[in-house]
Amino acid sequence: MRIVSAAVAALVLVGATQSSEPSRTPEAQAKFDKYLGGRVAGEMRKCVKTEILTNPIAIDDNTLVFRDGPRVWRNDLKATLQCGRIGKQSFIHTESAAGRICSGEQLEFTDADFTGACVLGDFVRYDKAK
């Protein structure tokens, strides 16, 4: 995990940036529409409860969404190392304190045959349109 941490830190240091709306493959756009279509962006938070991390959905290498009951939280990552491969079977590790995860913190995950890491951005809440 330390190698992954160093790799993600290197991504941040070299200035990994993203546009306000990254271009997506047709498959990623379909996934994005599936989880966020018909929803309206609401409040933005720097931190959310760690409980939402139990339902990660990778849209692509730049965007994760987390289901939280009727809400969905979107996170545009600041840096990524195979984050597009995160899934329900992934074991997620954070070093967050006080039961919350915040923008700028690192999320590491392992699956059967790979390891990855992400540096989280702000969390944007999406609710169903009324």
Residue 57 domain flag? yes
**Is 17 a residue whose pLDDT tops 60?**
no
Residue 112 domain flag? yes
Q: What's the domain range around 58?
A: 2-13+41-128
Q: Are 85 and 58 in contact (CB under 8 A)?
A: yes
| Whole-structure pTM value | 0.80
**CA–CA separation, 86 and 120 (whole Å):** 13
**CA–CA separation, 2 and 10 (whole Å):** 12
Residue 104 domain flag? yes
**Is 19 a residue whose pLDDT tops 70?**
no
Q: What is the pLDDT of residue 120?
A: 95
Q: What is the pLDDT of residue 2?
A: 52
Residue 26 domain flag? no
What's the domain count of the chain? 1
Q: Is 124 helix (H, G, I), strand (E, B) or coil?
A: strand
Residue 30 domain flag? no
Question: In this structure, is the dihedral angle defined by the CA atoms of residues 67, 122, 86 and 59, taken in order, positive or negative?
Answer: positive
Residue 8 domain flag? yes
Residue 77 domain flag? yes
Condensed to tens digits (0 to 9), the pLDDT of residues 41-100 reads 999 999 999 988 887 899 999 999 999 889 999 999 999 998 988 887 888 888 877 889
